Amino acid sequence: MRYARHISLSEVGHAGQQKLLDAKILMIGAGGLGCPALQYLAAAGVGTIGIIDGDTVDETNLQRQILFSTDDIGKKKVEVAKQKLNALNPDVSIHIYPENLTADNALAIIADYDMVIDGTDNFATRYLVNDACVKLDKPFVYGAIHKFEGQVSVFNFEDGPTYRCLFPDAPSQSQIPNCAEAGVLGVLPGVIGTLQATEAMKLILGIGEPLSGKLKIVNLLSNSEQIISFSRNEEQVEKARNIDLAYSYVDFACSTENSITPEQLIEWLETGKDINLLDVREAYETPKLEYPNVISIPLGEIPARFEELPTDKALVVICQKGMRSQRAIEFLKQNNFQNQLINLEGGMAAVGVCCSKP
């Protein structure tokens, strides 16, 4: 009787309801997006739901995180969510993980589910979710919000595009605020999280047109909706497949790392880290660093050629022994270079010839 209104839909029926009961979905984040998505999925009878979130309920969550009540302040979100969802539908088996998703636990946790819903609030976890899902070949439903505006998409579904295909270069968290910093209309995550639950149910049931290769953008103030299409980028899929999850996302703007060792540089180059390199040696000095994002400007020419320097990524500055590169960094800082500057300690003499990459 519970699912009678589903069963009477010809697109669902008994067979579709059984698919929902057999499905296993992992909700990453039990916050603004997670609360509405979880309620609809549990009500719909999605048989196994995992919830991962390390936070406790805070009073400022209650304006939009509708699984939680005033009495729940201070309690673990996943525990409260489990209790509320069990009361809503005892058919559903709820597994909770009172921790944050990390490079260490992501693969083991996600492996147990058919699909993932991304309801996180930071870029580090979003890139981690993407890379882990690509490695495990699991589809995931993306949702993200900003003040009155939300984005929804379905990634990594049946050889469709991924999050990195849409946003290849990770932005700095410090330049894009989250809800805590920017504010958010309480109902916005309700709309976007509900759209995520809708997409997840469509994938399980195999009905309709999923938002694979499409980014839906909803603006609650203007009532405008846009669907932007985008394609799979094999290079970005390969990057996610091969990346060490510990390096899925590094926020250079927040990093205090101002110098790296030759070993670290080699690892960065091998894992395809998003950096530019500036070689401040003279043209005759060897070994050369053969890597696509290297620009060579001898130290003495930097003031005149300052405009040539790329500022879209963190810049690793290299020379022969690590001294001239340090002087170049001091000059660039004084002239308000717009991105993170990192010195290669010991210079190319310490790297040797081992890291030439085509």
Catalytic residue numbers read 179, 319
254: contact with other proteins by CB under 8 A:
no
Residue 52's contacts (CB-CB under 8 Å, 6 or more residues apart) are 26, 27, 28, 29, 78, 96, 97, 99, 100, 101, 109
Based on CB atoms, which residue is closest to other proteins, 120 or 326? 120
Site string for other proteins, 69-108 (x = CB under 8 A): ----------------------------------------
In whole angstroms, give the CA distance from residue 295 to residue 34.
44
In whole angstroms, the minimum distance from the beta carbon of 253 to other proteins comes to 7
- Per CB under 8 A, contacts with other proteins among 279-318 are 311-312
One-letter amino acid at 214 equals K
| Interface map 193-222 toward other proteins (x if CB under 8 A) | ----------------------x-x-x--x
Distance CA 252, CA 338 (A): 12
Rounded to the nearest whole angstrom, what is the least distance from the CB of residue 279 to other proteins in the complex?
A: 22
What gap in Å lies between CA 108 and CA 250, rounded to an integer? Answer: 22
- The amino acid that residue 309 corresponds to is L
Q: Does 227 bind other proteins (CB under 8 A)?
A: yes
What is the dihedral sign for C-alpha 47, 53, 58, 62? negative
Cβ atoms of residues 19 and 205 within 8 Å: yes
Q: How many residues bind other proteins (CB under 8 A)?
A: 51
> What string of DSSP letters covers 125-149?
HHHHHHHHHHHHT--EEEEEEEBTE
Q: Other CB atoms closer than 10 Å to residue 122's CB: what's the count?
A: 15
Bond prior to 287 in cis (omega within 30° of 0): yes
Closest CA to 238 of 205, 288, 210, 272: 272
Q: Does 335 bind other proteins (CB under 8 A)?
A: no
Q: Does 154 bind other proteins (CB under 8 A)?
A: no
User: By C-beta, is 219 or 264 nearer to other proteins?
Assistant: 219
Q: Of 116 and 179, which has the nearer Cβ to other proteins?
A: 179
What is the closest distance, in whole angstroms, from the C-beta atom of residue 34 to other proteins in the complex? 8
Provide, rounded to whole angstroms, the least separation between the CB of residue 307 and other proteins: 11
Shortest distance, position 168 Cβ to other proteins, whole Å: 8
DSSP string covering 68-87, please?
A: --GGGTTSBHHHHHHHHHHH
Binding mask 261-280 for other proteins (x = CB under 8 A): --------------------
Binding site for other proteins (CB under 8 A): 29, 31-34, 118-123, 126, 143-147, 149-151, 166-173, 175-179, 182, 184, 189, 215, 217, 219, 222, 226-231, 253, 311-312, 338-339
